[in-house]
Amino acid sequence: MTLERSLLIPRLCIIGVGLIGGSLARALKEAACVGEVIGAGRHEASLQKAMELGVIDRYATDLRMAVANADVVVVAVPLGAMYPVFAAIADYLPSGCVLTDVGSAKGSVVDEVRRAFGRIPPTFVPGHPIAGTEKSGVESSFAELFRHRRVILTPLAETEAQAHDLIQRMWEAAGAEVVDMGVRHHDEVLAATSHLPHVLAYALVDTLARLDDRAEIFRYAAGGFRDFTRIASSDPVMWHDICVANQGALLAAIEQFTRHLDRLVEAINSGDSKAVLDIFRRAKHARDNLYRE
């Protein structure tokens, strides 16, 4: 057996070498389980930067050339760009090449794959790393991003066990804890725990930014405001795409939150201090238990 064949992934192609794609490449290189890493995307300047940083070994702006001879292809582009990528590579993926993604809304990704390929390829393993920062770009990538973080895989009925196993091992090599989940359940859970908080952070900052005395408001913003709104510094295009792609589950989460917020507003308006305190105590108890050391 050659050294190359003994590697977990002899040839890895990452389409979209930003924070997530770049961090995955760094982590796998650090773990010495990947051979050649090919970066692909539309912006050559970003790919050149990735080369300079040692994140990738070579790059191609032609997706057909990028995926040639790849053992694994990771699509790490915004959800709105998924279909053009899948359509471009559908007829050019090598036989046996495992295809995966990092999209935050799995239902839309699965639909786009089916539309582009005309079916679900048996080597397609939908995935979503629950990791990231408010920063973007390959310059912000780092090998430790996925350590002790969860990655959710949503294998389909068509997904081959061998392909699923390879992608699980890939993420574990990057330091992540891998769990399986159904596509619909994933989108409902992420709508409540990730997509809704981002929507609220964006909405709050936008509301305050529109006030006439916004300069004074932001001048006196304390740590709580900074902590709560940090995620509003995330890539707006990416989060726009997530809202569109996971519309149904996100709207259900917003409606549920709105009902609870209305009850809090009514309690404050009516002077029901017990109801207000009960809500705050329940929330504190839940939050403390969630992140207990």
Among 181, 209, 233, the domain boundary falls at 181
Q: In angstroms, rounded to a whole number, what is the distance separating the alpha carbons of residues 125 and 38?
A: 19
Write down the mean pLDDT value for the chain.
93
Residue 274 has pLDDT above 90, yes or no: yes
In this structure, the answer to whether residues 244 and 103 fall within a common structural domain is no
Question: Cα angle at 79 between 74 and 80, to 5 degrees?
Answer: 125
**pLDDT at residue 265, rounded to an integer:** 97
Alpha-carbon gap, residue 122 to 28, rounded angstroms: 24
Percentage of the chain with pLDDT > 90? 84
Same domain as 138, residue 111: yes
State the residue range of the domain holding 94.
3-181
* DSSP 8-state symbol, 138: G
Categorize the per-residue pLDDT at 2 as very low, low, confident or very high, splitting at 50, 70 and 90.
Answer: very low
pTM of the complete model beyond 0.85: yes
- 56 with 127, same domain: the answer is yes
Same domain, 14 and 69: yes
Q: Are residues 28 and 156 in the same domain?
A: yes
Taking CA atoms, 130 is separated from 14, 171, 250, 257, in Å, by: 18, 11, 17, 22
Query: Same domain, yes or no, for 131 and 163?
Result: yes
| Residue-wise pLDDT tens digits, 160-203 | 999 999 999 999 999 999 999 999 999 999 999 999 999 999 99
Write out pLDDT tens, residues 213-253.
766 777 777 788 888 889 999 889 989 999 999 999 999 99
Q: Are residues 197 and 161 in the same domain?
A: no
Q: What pLDDT, on the 0 to 100 scale, is given for residue 3?
A: 43
Q: Give 83-125 pLDDT, tens digit per residue.
A: 999 999 999 999 999 999 999 999 999 999 999 999 999 999 9
